[in-house]
């Protein structure tokens, strides 16, 4: 029989987790994926908020396990988060993120939650998980350079006269199709860690070595994506670009759900076994929180990011979303908590500078300066506040 006190404590932590999921949905995962599309006038703010909620929920359920387990069990060594520690971490992190949402500045959710979990873990006497920190730091540091660099390069090529714009977009569609064919979905292989990709799941239908079959399926799917976009572009270049842009926004929103849900429910994982609640149930609950947050709070942040950071057109928006999708899926694959604000904003800056020769990048340096400071403060502040908060709350109970 489950201890009633354990259930009560879990419920308190679960409420904090749901609030965290709402804050994430209203902030990073709900606002950033479609911000470039809104900036390019490909979709309205309210429709973007509606779609990102549904896609984020789907991504949370199908791809949320890796990051959730990393946040819940891999950030601190030697100890398991107690119910009190998990609740304190979630409440503090959610409070900081919600403050950023209402203030109109994108707080880095991954920095905040990671810092909060590390802070309470240290307060419990846990040891630093240096290998995991190295993975996280590598992705966080490389994201602005890789995302911004790729975005800049794509935007420059799209503007280059020697290369037909339509041909390059078709090539980009093929690359995106190949990526989609190889990202993992839990539903395709429930018994396998992380699931399986579409290419892996369908390669068994073909004769020959498995690797060759996976490559063949990938090529076919890439060709289908390229063909669909090519047909759309023949009707009208601008029309085809906007449709491709909306597809990319949807893929990034799906990826956001798969990554960001782990920030909300990860600290609950050490507690879920005590009440007999499996991880899929936690993912559904976290996905619902993201959905509600996206529908109720995301439009404000979507407007802030799309209008304040850059006045994007379809080409620059496409250039921003493709590397964003690539980085997001890398984070999901390796179970690394990542900030979607950092991913999208870095990509927007890269595509913005590609237009510098025609009158400026459209990026506010002052706004970006405040954002970077907010990212740094998110991590340092969350560690400090959570560490002190744990000790203060523990003192009240003794």
Give the DSSP H/E element, type plus range, for residue 341: helix 340-353
The pLDDT of residue 374 is above 90:
no
The closest alpha carbon to 271, from 62, 46, 39, 16, belongs to 16
Contact 327, 312 (CB under 8 A): no
Burial of 398 from C-beta contacts in 10 A (0-12 / 13-18 / 19+): exposed
Q: pLDDT tens for residues 92-120?
A: 887 777 776 676 665 678 888 999 999 99
CA distance 113 to 264: 8
In angstroms, how far is CA 341 from the centroid of its own chain?
8
DSSP 85-106: HHHHHHHHHHHHHHHHHHHTS-
Over pLDDT 70: what percentage of the chain?
87
**pLDDT: is 274 or 51 the higher one?**
51
Residue 379's region, left for phi above 0, alpha for psi from -120 to 50, else beta, is alpha
**pLDDT: is 389 or 376 the higher one?**
389
Mean pLDDT of 35-45: 76
CA distance 88 to 112: 13
Placement of tokens 């076919």 in the chain: 220
Q: pLDDT tens for residues 231-245?
A: 999 988 888 888 898
Q: pLDDT tens for residues 47-73?
A: 888 899 999 999 999 999 999 999 999
Q: How far is CA 252 from CA 132, 145, 214, 219, 320, in A?
A: 24, 19, 24, 22, 11
Of 151-165, 175-189, 383-397, the poorest mean pLDDT is in: 151-165
The pTM of the whole model exceeds 0.85:
yes
Q: Is 236 helix (H, G, I), strand (E, B) or coil?
A: coil
116-149 exposure pattern, b = at least 16 Cβ within 10 A, e = fewer? bbbbbbbbbebeebeebeebbeebbeebbebbbe
Supply 311's token pair: 């006045």
Q: Is 129 helix (H, G, I), strand (E, B) or coil?
A: coil
Polymer length in residues for the chain: 398
Maximum alpha-carbon separation in the chain: 73
76-107 exposure pattern, b = at least 16 Cβ within 10 A, e = fewer? beebebbbbbbbbbbbbbbbbbbebbeeebbb
The pLDDT of residue 182 is above 70:
yes
């Amino acid at each position: 029989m489950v201890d009633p006190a354990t259930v009560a404590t879990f419920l308190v932590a679960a409420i904090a987790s749901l609030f965290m999921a709402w804050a994430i949905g209203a902030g990073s995962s709900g606002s950033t994926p479609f911000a470039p599309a809104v900036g390019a006038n490909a979709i309205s703010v309210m429709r973007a908020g509606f779609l990102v909620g549904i896609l984020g929920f789907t991504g949370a359920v199908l791809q949320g396990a890796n990051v959730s387990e990393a946040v819940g069990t891999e950030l601190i060594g030697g100890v398991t988060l107690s119910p009190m520690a998990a609740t304190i971490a979630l409440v503090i992190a959610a409070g900081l993120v919600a403050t950023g949402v209402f203030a109109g500045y994108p707080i880095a959710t991954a920095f905040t939650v990671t810092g909060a979990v590390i802070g309470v873990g240290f307060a419990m006497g846990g040891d630093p998980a240096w290998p995991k920190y190295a993975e996280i730091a590598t992705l966080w540091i490389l994201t602005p350079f890789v995302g911004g660099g790729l975005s800049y390069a794509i935007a420059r090529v799209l503007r280059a006269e020697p290369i037909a714009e339509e041909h390059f977009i078709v090539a980009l569609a093929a690359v995106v199709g190949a990526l989609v064919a190889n990202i993992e979905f839990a539903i395709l292989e429930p018994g396998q860690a992380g699931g399986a990709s579409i290419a892996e799941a369908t390669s068994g239908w073909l004769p020959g070595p498995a690797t060759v079959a996976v490559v063949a399926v990938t090529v076919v799917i890439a060709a289908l994506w390229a063909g669909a976009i090519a047909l759309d572009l023949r009707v009208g270049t601008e029309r085809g670009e906007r449709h491709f842009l909306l597809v990319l926004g949807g893929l990034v929103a799906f990826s956001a759900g798969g990554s960001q849900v782990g920030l909300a429910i990860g600290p609950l994982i050490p507690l879920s076994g005590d009440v007999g609640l499996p991880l899929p149930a936690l993912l559904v609950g976290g996905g619902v929180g993201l959905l509600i947050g996206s529908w109720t709070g995301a439009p404000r942040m979507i407007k802030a990011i799309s209008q304040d950071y850059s006045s994007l057109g379809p080409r620059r928006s496409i250039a921003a979303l493709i590397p964003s999708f690539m980085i997001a899926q890398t984070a999901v694959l390796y179970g690394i908590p990542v900030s979607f604000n950092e991913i999208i904003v870095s990509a927007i800056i890269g595509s913005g500078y590609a237009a510098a020769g025609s009158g400026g990048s459209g990026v506010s340096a002052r706004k970006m300066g405040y954002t970077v400071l907010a990212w740094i403060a998110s991590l340092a502040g969350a560690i400090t506040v959570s560490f002190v908060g744990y000790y203060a709350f523990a003192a009240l109970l003794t």
